[in-house]
Amino acid sequence: MKKIFAAVILSTALFGCADKQKQEKDLLNEVIKVHDRVMAKDELIMINKMKLDTIIKDNKSPDVTAKATTLRAGLDTVDSRMETWMHNFDAENKGKSHEEIISYLTEQKKQINAIDSNFNIVVKAADTFVKQNKTK
């Protein structure tokens, strides 16, 4: 009876650890998935920056130039936020407890989702503006 009880306790501990590791891995994969989605949009940032630079250089209207400059600054800001997030992100989490890892990854997921949302807003605004103010 003691052997069976010990086997049950041991298997519960092993499965509990495996479940925690799976939970950590799944959450990390969710964070990485959003990161990859944002990085795929990085080219859109660069393209829009170049188009806005052209509008700024070629346009004679102060209002259009001012709006293009503001949008260009917005693209720079969101691009910088992404670079900062990537620089600070720690995927290894060595020496941390399960709770600390889950808390950290949950916070990182919130941050990268906010960056993704901001990317979408800024890129859409720049795209719309560029289409309305194409230079010939």
pLDDT band for position 21 (cuts 50, 70, 90): confident
CB within 8 A of 44, min separation 6: which ones? 123, 127
Please indicate, yes or no, if residue 1 is contained in any of the structural domains: no
Segment among 17-26, 60-69, 124-133 with least mean pLDDT: 17-26
> What's the whole-model pTM score?
0.79
Mean pLDDT to the nearest integer, 97-121: 94
- Give me the percent of the chain exceeding a pLDDT of 90: 66
Mean pLDDT, to the nearest integer, of 53-59?
89
The range of the structural domain enclosing residue 116 comes to 21-132
- Whether residue 6 lies inside any domain: the answer is no
Domain annotation covers residue 118: yes
Q: Is residue 83 part of a domain?
A: yes
Residue 4 lies in a domain: no
Residue 12 lies in a domain: no
Is residue 119 one of the residues assigned to a domain?
yes
| Residue 24 near residue 97, CB atoms below 8 Å | no
| Segment 49-53 mean pLDDT | 94
**Domain tally for the chain?**
1
Output the DSSP codes for the chain.
-HHHHHHHHHHHHHHHHHHHHHHHHHHHHHHHHHHHHHHHTHHHHHHHHHHHHHHHHH---HHHHHHHHHHHHHHHHHHHHHHHHHHH--S--TT--HHHHHHHHHHHHHHHHHHHHHHHHHHHHHHHHHHHT---
Residue 129 has pLDDT above 80, yes or no: yes
**Token code pair at residue 42:** 């990085």
Q: Can you give the C-alpha Rg of the chain in angstroms?
A: 23
Count other Cβ atoms within 10 Å, centred on residue 78.
22
Is residue 58 assigned to a domain?
Answer: yes
Lowest mean pLDDT among 7-11, 55-59, 63-67, 96-100: 7-11
The residue type of 106 is T
Mean pLDDT of 66-86: 95
- What's the confidence (pLDDT) of residue 5? 46
* CATH number assigned to the domain comprising residue 102: 1.20.140
- Give the rounded percent of residues in the chain with a pLDDT score beyond 70: 85
